[in-house]
Amino acid sequence: MASPPPASPATDEKARLEEVLAGCRYNKTLAAKQLGVSRSTLWRKLKLYGLT
């Protein structure tokens, strides 16, 4: 039995963004604070992963 390949850092980051956003009820300002990034950085990452 082969184990599944490890998740890529991008996959991990996208999952983390989705998790935090859902926990913040999609309040992007609050999500950015919880992630420790600026709102503009959060918006850029959301666009990068197609989460806008």
Among 22, 24, 29, 34, residue whose Cα is nearest residue 43: 29
Q: How far is CA 14 from CA 2, 10, 29, in A?
A: 25, 6, 17
Q: How confident is the model at residue 6 (pLDDT cuts 50, 70, 90)?
A: low
Query: Tens of pLDDT along 15-50?
Result: 999 999 999 999 999 999 999 999 999 999 999 999
Q: How far, in Å, CA of 24 to CA of 33, rounded?
A: 10
Give CATH for domain 12-48: 1.10.10
pLDDT at 8: 78
